[in-house]
Structure 1
């Protein structure tokens, strides 16, 4: 397996960053090793939201630099295995995403499922867990922020929000971020929209956040707003100001 076709499953940026914020971007890439034949979908489909979170990686990299924060980015398409789903649930390796069939995920053998788990899923989360263990052992506070994007229209239903902040136990942290973003009155910032955190369907916030006692939020940005460089820059600045203020707060306040 070549390094370009089979890259390391996690790209870690700024491992020694001084921020209390740790960034995670599970759906950063739409990469698919050639042997999978795009799982039977078209090249155009790989550019859609079904394969990755459009704009999320660029926002994450920019925030990592602005905040001096460590960032973990996935390097494979979510169609192979979704890093933000408990392994083995139907949405982990979907046979249908939105209105698109994924032929290459139909009838997967146990061996193939375990292959994706061992090559992609487990190493990614092991890297995150190791980093969080090191921070905890050194007494460094941690707030987790996972960066995602969502479609403006889903199954024919328009979504009115510019962004949503999703959370489990970290309500105080989430509400401060919502309040900070909502200072721009031109924005519609939702609370637990377009989805809510569900342990049966989400991974990073409940596992790396709630279970470890780390305040954790999932940021969803409407992807048409971050599909071009100007929009990416705007959201890096916007989120950077709000999260930078969080950096100055005592983490025990949540």
Structure 2
């Protein structure tokens, strides 16, 4: 048997003791290793304060060239279901409200609207027929792109649905003191949540922890809708409709059942 000098025996005893300690800890979740860093492999915004995270998300959204916005927005007691692709010079997509849907297309300042006959049918309850000069408008306008005159009272309202900056500025705000929430995934992307108020009563904003810290999901305060934001900076084509697809109504658009 090999005899070890005292110093060597001491080292062996320490090594054996350390091995026993680590073996015991390994059996209970391998605690000899360091705790994993939850921000490892991320963009690092999860380490920032809630205010800083929201600021970075807003800045990223403001710099983006394009976005796909979808979800439901409640405004002044009225619910709108949106599915819009937006960029700096226009947007395209659909809006649904009160069971009626219409499509919007804007290229620079030219705004077009397309809807079915039921949308254009503005017949009021108890009325025998539509009021002139709009009589028969529904049939003429059905499933055609109608150019919205820029002096029409609804022009600014409809244009707002196609304006990236207007929509994002109006939607992204949280109310109350900001706080950091939990971590989750949105569309397979790791996120950190910022809440308005400790319990989120002022809204919840999920911000990407991967790449650019874009806002990916917003739950608006007071149950005023949930919106998802995706396809950031992914360009898309905006093409004006052909003449055979377009009707120039000429004056103000007829009032509709949604107006």
TM-score > 0.5 by shorter chain? no
Q: RCO (CA 8 Å, sep 6+): is it higher in 1 or 2?
A: 1
Query: Greater strand share, 1 or 2?
Result: 2
Query: Greater helix share, 1 or 2?
Result: 1
Q: Radius of gyration: which is bigger?
A: 2
